[in-house]
């Protein structure tokens, strides 16, 4: 997650010199159930990488009072995960919103340990002097849309009866046809295209050509990135297995960016800049498929077609994708870890004197993690003096971690992560346990590496032989 506090400071300073540059929105509310919490709202940097950046935070007072002034140049979609909810907001400059949060409900123990837990998405209830403000439009539209979508689900998605699309479109048009905000109109069109993409058996890939006239600001809407993913997820993998698409792998390996760009335009029926954004999406997914040259894809992201594109969202997206793909890639620097030892003192990962360092993130509240950590004693005997072991424990109020470590004679450097697991998030740990292997120069060798009980010792021996 990237912080854009510095951006907000620059915007505020510039606004002092040029009052027309930045405009403000005020958020107010009273939420005693959330008293004392700090809720951070984020936004996606682009529709492909889905890297996030902090936009603002709501610091809720001890009595539950909320008041925040935010500088905005343009409307923005943002979200925050709190307890079991994913709170969604559409903010626009020159407005004052009074918000109402849903009744607070914390995650159960099982939910908090489930890496695949999906929060309940909910639009924050808002009131404004402008009864038809942007957040209200989005919230009311989505509620009606999903009600109609559920009502005609069988006819639309099982029967694939495109005539039933009118059964969704007409009621929505009757209720929202007089709303002319360009961003809301774009959202409405994107959501309807999403239904159409689920009905069509052929030609789905060309649906984006119908919405090329959308404002570029609409690229940052969740409905846009979701449609992009629905239409083009793993497209190169699928197409390269067909006779007419077998050339794709060789073109990627040869970095034939012009030919790939032309193929994208022909396949999707789109023109620049949309075809360039779709091409970036295709490259992003191809990288993670493991079926295309990763090095070629990363190098193509630095091509002038992207980096010198006149539409600034294209070079920004290419840069964000490149940063995402290169992060923790073998041969790249791993973030340094400096944390308090479970005994006393502090340990920093760059001080290791061994040729390699095995890093294991563990949560001792999870039984399987306990077994993996116990096996470190055996693993330490097997890997010998070639590697240090660094065990990073997630803080716990339920387990006496010091007692567990002593009782089972766990070897290595054992440190405690911060309360919000900042190093776990820095290493993009989604599920515990997770392991990594770095070298004496703090460069990544394996990300991820195998966990202790899952065969790391054999993986390690194979690396030593190579």
Domain that holds residue 421: 338-465
Model pLDDT, residue 438: 97
Do 295 and 369 reside in the same domain of the chain? no
Residue 398 belongs to some domain of the structure: yes
Model pLDDT, residue 22: 55
Residue 248 belongs to some domain of the structure: yes
In CATH, what number is assigned to the domain containing residue 357? 3.40.30.10
Do 92 and 234 reside in the same domain of the chain? no
Do 182 and 305 reside in the same domain of the chain? yes
Q: What is the dihedral of CA 422, 426, 428, 429, to 10 degrees?
A: -40
Model pLDDT, residue 17: 33
In CATH, what number is assigned to the domain containing residue 36? 2.60.40
Which residue, 326, 350, 373, sits at the end of a domain? Answer: 326
268 phi and psi, to 5 degrees?
-100, -15
Q: Phi-psi bin for 271: left (phi > 0), alpha (psi -120 to 50), beta?
A: beta
Residue 148 belongs to some domain of the structure: no
Do 314 and 348 reside in the same domain of the chain? no
Question: What stretches of 269-410 show up as alpha helix (H) in DSSP?
Answer: 274-289, 294-300, 304-307, 313-326, 367-374, 376-383, 401-407
Contact 340, 416 (CB under 8 A): yes
Do 388 and 292 reside in the same domain of the chain? no
Nearest to 120 by CA among 80, 87, 78: 87
- What tens-digit pLDDT sequence spans the chain (466 residues)? 444 433 333 333 333 334 444 578 999 999 999 999 999 999 999 999 999 999 999 999 999 999 999 998 899 999 999 999 999 999 998 889 999 999 999 999 999 999 999 999 999 999 988 877 999 999 999 999 999 999 999 988 888 888 888 999 999 999 998 888 999 999 999 999 999 998 887 888 999 999 888 999 999 999 999 999 999 999 999 999 998 888 999 999 999 999 999 999 999 999 999 999 999 999 999 999 999 999 999 999 999 999 999 999 999 999 999 999 999 999 999 999 999 999 889 999 999 989 999 999 999 999 999 999 999 999 999 887 889 999 999 999 999 999 999 999 999 999 999 998 999 999 999 999 999 999 999 999 999 999 999 999 999 988 888 7
Do 305 and 375 reside in the same domain of the chain? no
Nearest to 72 by CA among 134, 11, 2: 11
Residue 332 belongs to some domain of the structure: no
Do 107 and 193 reside in the same domain of the chain? no
Do 286 and 370 reside in the same domain of the chain? no
- Tokens coding 298: 């990363």
Count of structural domains, the chain: 3
Cα 409 to Cα 255, 374, 394, 405, distances in angstroms? 52, 8, 19, 6
Could you tell me how far CA 20 lies from the centroid of its own chain? 33
Which residue, 302, 326, 350, sits at the end of a domain? Answer: 326
Which residue, 130, 156, 190, sits at the end of a domain? Answer: 130
Tally of residues, the chain: 466
Residue 140 belongs to some domain of the structure: no
Do 322 and 179 reside in the same domain of the chain? yes
Residues in a beta bridge with 362: 393
**Residue partners of 330: CB distance under 8 A and separation at least 6:** 443, 444, 445, 446, 447
Do 318 and 253 reside in the same domain of the chain? yes
Residue 156 belongs to some domain of the structure: no
Which strands form 95-100's sheet, in the order they lie side by side?
65-72, 23-30, 95-100, 125-127
SS (H, E, C) 164-207: HHHHHHHHHHHHHCCCCCHHHHHHHHHHHHHHHHHHCCCCHHHH
Residue 419 belongs to some domain of the structure: yes
Do 352 and 271 reside in the same domain of the chain? no
Contact 144, 171 (CB under 8 A): yes
Do 310 and 342 reside in the same domain of the chain? no
Secondary structure class of 17 (helix, strand, coil): helix
Residue 150 belongs to some domain of the structure: no
């Amino acid at each position: 997650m990237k912080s854009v506090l510095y951006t907000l400071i620059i915007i505020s300073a510039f606004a002092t010199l040029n009052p027309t540059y930045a405009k403000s929105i005020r958020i107010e509310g009273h939420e005693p159930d959330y008293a004392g919490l700090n809720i951070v709202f984020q936004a996606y940097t682009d529709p492909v990488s889905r890297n996030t950046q902090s936009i603002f935070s709501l610091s809720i007072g001890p009595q539950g009072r909320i008041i925040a002034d935010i500088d905005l140049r343009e409307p923005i979609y943002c979200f925050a995960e709190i307890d079991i909810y994913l709170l969604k907001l559409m903010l626009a400059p020159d407005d004052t919103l009074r918000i109402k949060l849903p009744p607070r409900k914390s995650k159960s123990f099982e939910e908090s340990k489930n890496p695949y837990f999906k929060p309940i998405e909910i639009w924050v209830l808002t009131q404004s002097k402008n009864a038809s403000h942007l957040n209200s439009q989005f919230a009311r539209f989505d509620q009606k849309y999903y009600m109609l979508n559920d009502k005609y689900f069988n006819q639309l998605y099982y029967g694939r009866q495109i005539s039933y699309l009118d059964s969704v479109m007409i009621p929505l048009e009757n209720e929202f046809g007089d709303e002319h905000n360009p961003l809301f109109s774009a959202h409405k069109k994107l959501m309807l295209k999403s239904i159409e993409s689920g009905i069509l058996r052929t030609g789905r890939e060309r649906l984006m050509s119908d919405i090329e006239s959308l404002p570029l600001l609409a690229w940052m809407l969740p409905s846009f990135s979701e449609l992009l993913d629905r239409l083009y997820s793993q497209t190169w993998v699928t197409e390269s297995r067909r006779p007419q698409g077998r050339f794709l792998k060789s073109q990627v390996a040869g970095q034939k960016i012009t030919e790939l760009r032309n193929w994208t335009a022909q396949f999707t029926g789109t023109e620049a800049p949309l075809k360039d954004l779709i091409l970036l999406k295709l490259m992003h997914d191809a990288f993670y498929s493991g079926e295309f040259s990763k090095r070629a894809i990363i190098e193509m992201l630095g091509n002038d077609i992207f980096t010198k594109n006149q539409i600034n969202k294209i070079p920004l997206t290419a840069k964000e994708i490149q940063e995402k793909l290169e992060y923790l890639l073998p041969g790249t620097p791993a973030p340094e870890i400096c944390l308090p030892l479970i005994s006393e003192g502090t340990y920093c990962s760059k001080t290791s004197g061994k040729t390699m360092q095995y890093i294991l993130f563990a949560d001792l509240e999870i039984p399987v993690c306990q077994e993996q950590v116990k096996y470190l004693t055996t693993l330490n005997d097997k890997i010998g003096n070639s590697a240090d072991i660094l065990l990073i424990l997630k803080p716990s109020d339920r387990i006496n971690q010091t007692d567990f470590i002593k009782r089972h004679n766990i070897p290595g450097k054992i440190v405690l992560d911060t309360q919000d697991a900042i190093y776990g998030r820095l290493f993009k740990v989604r599920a515990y346990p997770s392991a990594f292997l770095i070298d004496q120069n703090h460069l990544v060798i394996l990300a991820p590496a195998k966990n202790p009980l899952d065969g790391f010792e054999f993986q390690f021996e194979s690396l030593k032989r190579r």
